[in-house]
Amino acid sequence: MKNNDLKFLADEMLGRLTRWLRILGSDVLYLNASDDELLLITEKEKRTLLTRDITLFKKAAKHNITAYLVQGNTCIERLVDIRKNFCIELQIDTTISRCPSCNFLIQPVEKSNISDRVHLGTLNNYDSFWECSNCGKVYWQGGHWKNIQQVLVKVKKITNRCVLIDNKINIDS
């Protein structure tokens, strides 16, 4: 399954994971709401609920709502867990990436259209920019890009290769 085919709803305990999944192309709602509201939205929008709350997870199961109890204490451990269980691709594809802040798709934008919102040094040092179609935030592959790639490499090394066989997810060693 491709990352942009995945639709999640993450509870308030999974903010950092939400940002990573959005960057990787998954549609992830992130809400601070009551358990009942989270379950209602998850079911109505046909999403998978991501949570670290065992009580919420059990409520979802009781109501036959698709939910996943995320394992791991660090963001890397949680990405590993999601990779293993949903076979997400660990590659940033800006054609499907979403804004880490608001979940809308990002789109390529010309320098001239964002020159008033980005420092001159950034404009001079980078050629490719993307803009959120909703909140207008501007993104580029700056110095933080190296850190992002290092995290993805760590997760890949831990999980090795993820393969879908007969609709079952398997991790090759």
What domains are defined for the chain?
3-92 (3.40.50), 106-139 (no CATH)
Q: What is the pLDDT of residues 87-98, one digit of tens each?
A: 899 999 999 999
Q: What is the pLDDT of residues 8-59, one digit of tens each?
A: 999 999 999 999 999 999 999 999 999 999 999 999 999 999 999 999 999 9
Quote the tokens at residue 66: 């698709």
pTM of the model: 0.89
As a whole number, mean pLDDT of residues 131-160 equals: 91
Quote the tokens at residue 162: 């993820």
How far are the Cα atoms of 9, 39, 123, 137 from residue 33, in angstroms, in the given order?
11, 10, 39, 25
Compute the distance between CA of residue 151 and CA of residue 173 in angstroms, rounded to an integer. 19
